[in-house]
Structure 1
């Protein structure tokens, strides 16, 4: 985990995984029974708010991983050896 591109891609993967975990938070169904409206569609999806929350959480996870691997010098092989696999 050394290059800038590696770190960027790692952040993007963490961001997308976090987004899928955050999306269901606070979802309320629409109360409209109009034709053409899906009854399971969220009334107010709050996508911008969820994107910001996702960014904060993903940055914290990425930062912890960055510290763990870059600053403290752990490698994936160290983790595998310590786990006994």
Structure 2
């Protein structure tokens, strides 16, 4: 795995993790009872984006180390997940 592919893998893991963490513990305007006219009651009032970004960074780092280790050490290869036997090892570079 090259540096660019490692960075892309981390970015994908980070954004997927961020999208999972983002809705956790969101306090909406409806929850607080202070609905601004013209907005939906489900609009977030307190969302703690900075804290969630830091949590996401550390969780994504742990996941990236695990996934990159699996790829780097070859614990799971393309041949292991080839269900239809389309990948031939003679073409592997």
**Misfit runs of 4+, over 6 Å:** none
What secondary structure, in the 3-state scheme, does the structure 2 residue paired with 1:80 have? coil
Q: 1:63 corresponds to which residue?
A: 65
What secondary structure, in the 3-state scheme, does the structure 2 residue paired with 1:37 have? coil
**Larger proportion of helix:** 1
Q: 1:73 corresponds to which residue?
A: 74
> What is the aligned length?
80
Q: Give the structure with higher Rg (CA).
A: 2
Point out which structure has higher relative CO (alpha carbons under 8 A, 6+ apart): 1
Q: 1:6 corresponds to which residue?
A: 5
Alignment RMSD (CA, Å): 1.5
**Larger proportion of strand:** 2
Question: Which consecutive unaligned segments of at least 5 residues does structure 1 have?
Answer: none
